Amino acid sequence: MRKTRTSLSLALALITLAGCKDDPLGVNSGDALTQPEIQAFFYALSDAFSSFSGPVAVGPAMATQSYSESFSGSADCPTSGSMSASVSVHATVVDEPASIDASYKARVTPDLCVVPTEGDQSITVDGGPYIQMNLDFTITDTSFGFQGSEAGGISFTSSDGRAGSCRFDVSFTGTATSTTGSSSVSGTVCGVSVDALEAFSVD
């Protein structure tokens, strides 16, 4: 079931997991998700990311351009159900020297999102209340840097009869060039330290 990904491409996909600590956090209650189940949900979210990125309109070449847009998106989950997102993007593009400074905000709400896990098991995820994601990043000809955090929560049922809800509370930062990369992350997802999850590494 697991897909092969490079650490950098996975990190860029999961950059969508960024948020504002002022947003309401979910709660850890009921039964617990296992670490592989949490990881499976992260993979499903990363696969949905392309549906949430939206168009980036850049007009005729100018010294500096500003871009702002709000839009909504929806992506199918691996087995059934969906994830929807309300997104806002603001970017400033400088022509010379080339750079992009941008902020990205997305409120993602799973809706009966069924994700396969180990063996023939699965989890069904709903918003509890949602995952609020905010991200600031800078891109130049030679580097990429980002910082963000995530707040919110999901509710879930599993095919083996467990049910509960869990909390997202994560902060992260990272940089990358064509040859090197580094990142740091702290916080927990569903009571599991994010250090244990394959998500935010940049090698």
Position 58 scores a pLDDT of 47
Q: Is residue 5 part of a domain?
A: no
Q: Is 4 within the bounds of a domain? A: no
- Give the pLDDT score at 7: 41
Q: What is the DSSP string of the chain?
A: -PPP--HHHHHHHHTT----TTSPP---EESPPPHHHHHHHHHHHHHHHHHHS------S--SEEEEEEEEEEEEE-SSEEEEEEEEEEEEEEETTTTEEEEEEEEEEEEEEEEEE-STT-EEEEEEEEEEEEEEEEEEESS-EEEEEEEEEEEEEEETTS-EEEEEEEEEEEEEE-SS-EEEEEEEEETTEEGGGSSSS---
Q: Which residues of the chain have pLDDT under 70?
A: 1-24, 49-50, 53-63, 198-203
pLDDT of residue 88: 93
The per-residue pLDDT for 83 is 95
For residue 198, what pLDDT is reported?
65
Q: Indicate whether 56 belongs to any domain.
A: no
Tally the domains of the chain.
Answer: 1
Range of the domain at 135: 23-51+63-194
141 located within any domain: yes
Q: Within a domain: residue 47? A: yes
Q: Considering the domain boundaries, does residue 167 fall inside one? A: yes
